[in-house]
Amino acid sequence: MRRLWYQAERRWIVSCVSETTVRTTHPSPSVPTAPTAPATAASAAAGPAVLTPLGLLTVLLGAALPLIDFFIVNVALPAIDADLAAGPAMLELVVGGYGVAYSVLLVLGGRIGDTVGRRRLFVIGMAAFGLTSLACGLAPTAWTLVGARVAQGAAAALMLPQVLATIQATTQGPRRARAMSLYGATAGLSMVAGQILGGVLVAADVAGSGWRSVFLVNVPVVVAGLVLAVRAVPETRSERPASVDVPGTLLLGLTLVSLLLPLTEGRAAGWPLWTWVALAVSPFAALAFYLTERRADRLGRTPLVPPSLLRLVSLRRGLVMMLPFSMGFSGFMFVVAVALQQGLRMGPVAAGLALVPMALAFFGASLAGPRLVGRFGSRVVTAGGLIQGLGIALVLAAVWYGWPDLGLAGLAPGVAVAGLGQGLQLPVLMRMMLSDVPADRAGVGSGVMVTTQQSSLALGVATVGTLFLALADSLGMRAALAVTLLVQLALIALTVALSLRLPRVMR
């Protein structure tokens, strides 16, 4: 068996090398070789970096962990509140602190990986993620848990950008398309599976750990991931590494913190003065960030987010579409978790199992996506949006006519159709956004994309979630859920309209 595995791995490597059409180090004397770009000493000695199947599995594991942990706490919040007497404001910080730290540092993580080595930073980030997960699981107080969650988000921001950057730097052609499709499938499934896994772990109460198991489960997974990363993930870095853009980093951090923190914490805190001041600061910080980056670009420096990168049509239009898509996705996941447990009195396991049809449909659509894109191009994204809208409409009808006796069977058709539509959108959209990004800017490009996605996920919880909780107090759970589903339908309509502006042909 071991010999067969090595033979299969060797065939994979040979096919990758031939696919990239890189010249060998000993060309035929009758054929002149063209000058090539400078390479690192490692690449010059060992040839082009190639991502094996085991390496791809390893980096996809690193992609799954941060997204799972964004959603895994949704169904654990009631148990955390009961054990640590956290209160609404502190529970918002448990969710929001992770999301804000994660969002703020993602682009910086991509830049550092381009400079010091992507595998090196991937390993460092994964190790830090395991340690901070352990700290979350052992937290004695609510404030300790919040601090550990912020540190966990920072660790995730070091790890995740290296995943897409490594895929971009070590694959080409159809192999890259398949890898990107698998990445998109992993991202979507992780967000759904996180909520399912959280419900199962809380209910299982492994060794009396209760909610703590949703964090402690990361530790053995991280240990396995570190062993695989050292063995199977190739080291890559930018051939033109750039220094850290300190002004740009600080201004981007100020922009995201001043926007996300008050939206996340405002309702639970009663909207004190600081939340309004922070929201007022946010647009000015964003303008200052843009002007600073543009000036750095004109002076020949390397800004944190190069404006030239945003001139890529596929990336720019994809980022615009990612905003309403991710807001609607995370808002739906949060609202469903609360409504099923508090409104329909389902346990954490049942609340998680309600999303299994969505996960299965998403996975199936993700596998079919590459073939459909080859035939229909970006119109697959448009069709996915229409299918997702139909699914949410079915959920809305089930809620309106089935409440309060609504069960898993009544929800299943709607969430399955919605998952099918989401699976046709997210993997294709991610692949398209990075299709034109140069390999030496893969870390920055992936950091920008994931920052947009993560910020939008946090915005969805903060806005759609806040709207739902506010309406639930005045209109009741059923009406509040119906209104927020209508809001999501409006966000889906926006994504469908924006998808019509995507480049028709996809590489």
Alpha helix stretches (DSSP H) within 270-355 = 273-298, 307-310, 313-338, 348-353
Q: Which amino acid is at 388?
A: Q
* pLDDT confidence band for 507 (50 / 70 / 90): low
Q: What is the pTM of this model?
A: 0.75
Of 67-81, 94-108, 141-155, 369-383, which one has max mean pLDDT? Answer: 141-155
Instruction: Give the burial class of 462: count Cβ atoms within 10 A of its Cβ; 0-12 exposed, 13-18 middle, 19 or more buried.
Output: buried
Task: Determine the pLDDT at residue 8.
Answer: 45
148-171 exposure pattern, b = at least 16 Cβ within 10 A, e = fewer: bbbbbbbbbbbbbbbbbbbbbbbb
At residue 350 the predicted structure's pLDDT band, cuts being 50, 70 and 90, is confident
CB 329, CB 387: distance < 8 Å: no
Give the orientation angle of helix 77-84 with respect to helix 142-159, to 10 degrees.
140
* pLDDT, tens only, 173-213: 778 878 877 887 787 788 778 878 888 888 888 888 888 99
Dmax of the chain from CA atoms? 82
pLDDT at 328 over 70: yes
Asked if pLDDT for residue 455 goes beyond 60, the answer is: yes
Q: Give 419 or 39, the one with higher predicted confidence.
A: 419
Check if the beta carbon of residue 335 is closer than 8 Å to that of residue 491: no
d(CA 206, CA 209): 5
Residue whose C-alpha is closest to residue 83's, from 208, 170, 172: 208
Q: Which of 334, 328, 369, 323 is nearest to 96 (CA)?
A: 334
Residue 5 has pLDDT above 50, yes or no: no
Reported as a single tens digit per residue, the pLDDT across 79-136 is 888 888 877 778 778 877 888 888 788 878 887 888 888 899 999 999 999 999 999 9
CA atoms within 13 A on the CB side of 370: 16
Nearest to 499 by CA among 325, 382, 372, 374: 382
Average pLDDT value for residue range 290-295: 88
Amino acid letter, 5:
W
List for the chain the helix, strand, coil content (%; round to 5).
Answer: 80, 0, 20
Residue 436 has pLDDT above 80, yes or no: no
For the chain, the residue count is 507
User: What's the pLDDT score for residue 222?
Assistant: 95
Q: Residue 331 and residue 313: Cα distance in Å, rounded?
A: 28
**Cis? peptide before 357, omega within 30° of 0:** no
pLDDT at 389 > cutoff 90 = yes
Per-residue pLDDT at 369 exceeds 80: no
Joined together, the tokens standing for residue 293 give: 């980056």
Return the percentage of the chain with pLDDT > 90, whole number.
Answer: 26
Give the model confidence (pLDDT) of 259-272 as tens digits. Answer: 888 887 787 778 88
> Quick check: 162 and 401 in contact, CB under 8 A?
no
Torsion of the alpha carbons at 467, 153, 435 and 193, rounded to the nearest 10: -70
Instruction: Give residue 418's pLDDT band: very low, low, confident or very high (50, 70, 90).
Output: very high
So what's the pLDDT on residue 37? Answer: 37
In this prediction, residue 67 carries a pLDDT of: 85
Give the pLDDT confidence score for residue 506 in this predicted structure.
Answer: 62
Q: Which two structure tokens, joined as six digits, stand for 363?
A: 């996975």
Per-residue confidence (pLDDT) for residue 445, from 0 to 100? 75
Q: Using DSSP, how many helices (H) and how many strands (E) does the chain show?
A: 21, 0
CB-CB contact of 165 with 176 (8 Å) = no
Structure tokens that stand for 24 in this block? 């060998």
Which of the four pLDDT bands, split at 50, 70 and 90, describes residue 18? very low
Please name the residue ranges forming H helices in 117-141. Answer: 118-137
Confidence bin at 443 (pLDDT 50/70/90): low
pLDDT in tens, 474-498: 888 889 999 999 999 999 999 999 9
Between residues 278 and 23, which one has the greater pLDDT?
A: 278
The least confident of 192-206, 288-302, 358-372, 433-447 is 433-447
Written as one letter, the residue type at 156 is A
Dig out the tokens for 383 from the structure.
Answer: 């069709």
Average model confidence (pLDDT) for the chain? 81
- Is 37 buried (19+), middle (13-18) or exposed (0-12) by CB count in 10 A? exposed
488 sits in the region (left: phi over 0; alpha: psi -120 to 50; else beta) called alpha
Predicted local confidence at residue 374, as pLDDT: 74
Give CA–CA dist 503/378, Å, rounded: 7
